[in-house]
């Protein structure tokens, strides 16, 4: 049952179980060891989850710290996604919890008539954030909500001709001042130039929504985008935003930006197997870069300026996500 562990030089399970984190231990036992455990609702009352919930506003959102410089930007949508990621991905919370339900409804209140989630880039289309947030909403129990279907319909319409995604405004030749204005003021959204190539960064974030959905993960659109995504492993992006190939090796959990780990997670859920040459290449990278402790670092490029405690915590959760991928592909 746990033969997938034989691929590693060092044991990753013991440090996850002995980290002193009840949520981390729960998911390790459930997802990696296949143990039968008490209902996940027990995690919902943990102090860290309660701390996040205490800061929620009556409308279901979380306030963004600092100044809100641009009225056209929905800062609370950004912060709500940021905090909801922790509640859903670290504590397994769903819309069955009344505060998560309020957060879900706040996010859906930001859905445009077309189906996208609008406001993070002012009134411009944000394909990548729409996909990533839809993925989170599905995990929170919204899979059968018709507003999820509406979001998928919009994402399908917004594909490039090659079957992947990018950020529509990046497909135009705009100077920095124009991009700044478009993403900070209320302006009509720019339609994409669909003849331009896909971006692996933004395709990866959109693909999370398809990977999370039990039906859409088996769609032709998901398979096509998945092939495009894995074809770009370890390469620079087609666009200047987050272009460096180093971004493939900067990890975090809960997931935010696209990287090798988030991509393998999505691709494994869509149905790609370890027999695929590019999937093998990605898995081999993790095998070769496991630390003596049994864990993986959160970044293998630029060092982050955060406390040692945060570095260790991130590494633990990243390591859980790595192990999930290997188990799914075993």
Q: Topology of domain 36-274, per CATH? A: Glycosyltransferase (1.50.10)
- If you average pLDDT over residues 274-300, what whole number do you get? 97
- If you average pLDDT over residues 103-128, what whole number do you get? 98
Report CA-CA distances (Å) from 330 to 54, 147, 316, 324: 40, 34, 21, 10
- If you average pLDDT over residues 52-78, what whole number do you get? 94
Burial bucket for residue 200 (CB in 10 Å: 0-12, 13-18, 19+): buried
pLDDT in tens, 169-204: 999 999 999 999 999 999 999 999 999 999 999 999
Confidence of residue 297 (pLDDT cuts 50, 70, 90): very high
Residue 254: is the preceding peptide bond cis (ω within 30°)? yes
Q: Which of 67-76, 95-104, 203-212, 271-280 has the lowest mean pLDDT?
A: 67-76
Share of the chain above pLDDT 70, in %: 97
Task: Report the distance separating Cα 321 and Cα 119, nearest Å.
Answer: 30
pLDDT in tens, 227-265: 999 999 999 999 988 899 999 999 999 999 999 999 999
pTM: 0.95
Q: Is residue 191 within 8 Å of 159, Cβ to Cβ?
A: no
Backbone angles phi, psi at 250, to 5 degrees: -110, 110
Task: Report the distance separating Cα 134 and Cα 155, nearest Å.
Answer: 10
Q: Measuring CA to CA, which residue among 3, 1, 99, 5 is closest to residue 44?
A: 99
Task: Specify the pLDDT at position 67.
Answer: 79
Task: Specify the pLDDT at position 269.
Answer: 98
Task: Specify the pLDDT at position 306.
Answer: 59
Q: Is residue 225 within 8 Å of 163, Cβ to Cβ?
A: yes
Mean per-residue pLDDT of the chain? 96
- If you average pLDDT over residues 98-120, what whole number do you get? 99
- DSSP conformational letter for 30: I
Task: Report the distance separating Cα 231 and Cα 197, nearest Å.
Answer: 13
Confidence of residue 149 (pLDDT cuts 50, 70, 90): very high
Confidence of residue 308 (pLDDT cuts 50, 70, 90): low
Look up residue 257 and give its two tokens.
């930006």
According to DSSP, the residues that pair with 111 across neighbouring strands are 117
Residue 286 has pLDDT above 80, yes or no: yes
For the chain, which residues make up each domain, given as ranges? 1-35+289-330, 36-274
- If you average pLDDT over residues 295-309, what whole number do you get? 75
- If you average pLDDT over residues 199-211, what whole number do you get? 99
Residue 309 has pLDDT above 60, yes or no: no
Torsion of CA 293, 298, 300, 305, to 10 degrees: -110
Confidence of residue 311 (pLDDT cuts 50, 70, 90): low
Task: Specify the pLDDT at position 301.
Answer: 83
Backbone angles phi, psi at 132, to 5 degrees: -65, -40
């Amino acid at each position: 049952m746990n033969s997938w562990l034989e691929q590693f030089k060092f044991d990753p399970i013991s440090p996850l179980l002995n980290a002193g984190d009840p949520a981390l231990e729960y998911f390790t036992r459930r997802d990696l060891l296949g143990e039968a455990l008490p209902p996940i609702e027990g995690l919902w009352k943990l102090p860290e989850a309660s701390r996040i919930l205490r800061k929620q506003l009556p409308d279901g959102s979380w306030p963004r710290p600092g100044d809100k410089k641009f009225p056209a930007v929905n800062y609370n949508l950004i912060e709500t996604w940021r905090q909801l990621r922790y509640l859903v991905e670290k504590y397994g919370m769903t819309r069955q919890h009344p505060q998560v339900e309020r957060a879900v409804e706040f996010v859906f209140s930001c859905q445009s008539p077309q189906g996208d989630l609008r406001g993070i880039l002012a009134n411009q289309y944000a394909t990548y954030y729409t996909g990533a947030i839809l993925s989170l909403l599905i995990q929170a129990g919204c899979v059968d909500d018709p507003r999820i279907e509406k979001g998928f319909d919009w994402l399908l319409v917004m594909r490039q001709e090659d079957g992947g995604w990018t950020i529509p405004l990046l497909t135009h030749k705009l100077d920095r001042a124009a991009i700044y204005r478009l993403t900070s003021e209320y302006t009509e959204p720019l339609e994409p130039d669909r003849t331009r190539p896909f971006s692996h960064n933004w395709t990866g974030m959109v693909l999370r929504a398809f990977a999370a959905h039990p039906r859409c993960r088996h769609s032709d659109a998901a398979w096509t985008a998945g092939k495009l995504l894995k074809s770009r492993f370890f390469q620079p992006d087609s666009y200047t935003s987050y272009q460096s190939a180093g971004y493939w090796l900067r990890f975090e959990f809960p997931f935010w930006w696209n990287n090798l780990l988030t991509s393998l997670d999505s691709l494994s859920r869509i149905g790609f197997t370890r027999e695929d040459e590019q999937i093998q290449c990605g898995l081999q990278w993790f095998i070769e870069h496991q630390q003596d402790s049994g864990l993986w670092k959160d970044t293998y490029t630029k060092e982050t300026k955060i406390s040692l405690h945060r570095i260790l915590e991130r590494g633990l959760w990243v390591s859980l996500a790595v192990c999930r991928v290997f188990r799914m592909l075993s």
